[in-house]
Amino acid sequence: MSQSAVVDKDAAGVGERQYHIAIAPGEVSSVALLPGDPFRVPLVAEFLTDVKTVAHNREHMTMTGWYKGRHITATSTGMGCPSTAIAVEELIRVGVTSFIRVGSSAGLQPGVKPGDLLVSEGALRNDGTTAAYAHHGFPAVPDLQIALTLAEVARELTAGTPAAVHSGINASDDAFYAETPEWIAELNRLGVLNVEMESAALYVVARLRGVRSGMICSTSSNLIDGTSLYSGVKEALKEGWMRSIEAALETAVRLEL
């Protein structure tokens, strides 16, 4: 086999409409909010004006609009690091330079309750995707200024409400139903604040590609106090989603992302 015939995925498709997210250069803004669920993209759009649906292909729905003078993109990543890495890679190709994940995450420490906001300071890489990108010791960390601003805005938005804001290290797992009580207890012992499934890929890809990223999540449950997704938490979770979206949008404005 000729070496020249081997496809270089870093070069294939550059400057074209992207295969998975179905977006072409010029169709999105420089900052993208990243929910996991495509049905949460319209929740972002509720805060925007002049909203346009750009594409919906596979798990990736994209809408754009305006918030306080900033052009904003919202694209769903789907669940897990593999689809997140694809979405981030392709969004970078079409012009996005800053990412803020707005998602759901399970608490792992006492006092974290459904609807609370969780600001990530870094991710424990318990996934397979980032191992394909970087040495196992390479840190998965957000942009410091984005993380600090998310926390600041989140505290402002929750002042006077029952919701609290927590900042710390989260875990990114690959297998939702493989999170055993033993693994949950180990994460708790390590002081890990929460667990979700996407941020490790977001952080590592963003760092390697020279762009900025951060994450703010709504607490969906608390795995050490017996509060699961089946514990009637949906209303609190949605309130947290909306606050996390607003915090991300305000961060985009303050930092001129």
First to last CA, the chain: 45
The secondary element (H helix, E strand) that includes residue 8 is none
Please tell me the predicted confidence (pLDDT) of residue 51.
Answer: 98
Please tell me the predicted confidence (pLDDT) of residue 5.
Answer: 87
Other CB atoms within 10 A of residue 245 CB: 24
**Per-residue pLDDT for 233 more than 90?**
no
Q: Would you say 104 and 221 are in contact if contact means Cβ atoms under 8 Å apart?
A: no
| Predicted confidence band of residue 227 (pLDDT cuts 50, 70, 90) | confident
Q: How many residues does the chain have?
A: 257
Residue keyed to tokens 């394909």: 132
Could you read off the pLDDT of 10-51 as tens digits, one per residue? 999 999 999 999 999 999 999 999 999 999 999 999 999 999
Please tell me the predicted confidence (pLDDT) of residue 86.
Answer: 98
Could you read off the pLDDT of 99-134 as tens digits, one per residue? 999 999 999 999 999 999 999 999 999 999 999 999
Q: How far apart are CA 61 and CA 22, in angstroms?
A: 9
Q: How far apart are CA 161 and CA 112, in angstroms?
A: 15
Could you read off the pLDDT of 44-96 as tens digits, one per residue? 999 999 999 999 999 999 999 999 999 999 999 999 999 999 999 999 999 99
**Per-residue pLDDT for 232 more than 80?**
no
Instruction: Name beta bridge partners: 140.
Output: 123
Q: Would you say 41 and 63 are in contact if contact means Cβ atoms under 8 Å apart?
A: yes
Q: Would you say 131 and 204 are in contact if contact means Cβ atoms under 8 Å apart?
A: no
Q: How far apart are CA 55 and CA 5, in angstroms?
A: 32
**Per-residue pLDDT for 1 more than 60?**
no
Across 153-170, average pLDDT: 97
Across 244-248, average pLDDT: 98
Please tell me the predicted confidence (pLDDT) of residue 226.
Answer: 87
Across 180-185, average pLDDT: 97
Q: Would you say 117 and 216 are in contact if contact means Cβ atoms under 8 Å apart?
A: yes
Mean pLDDT of the chain: 96
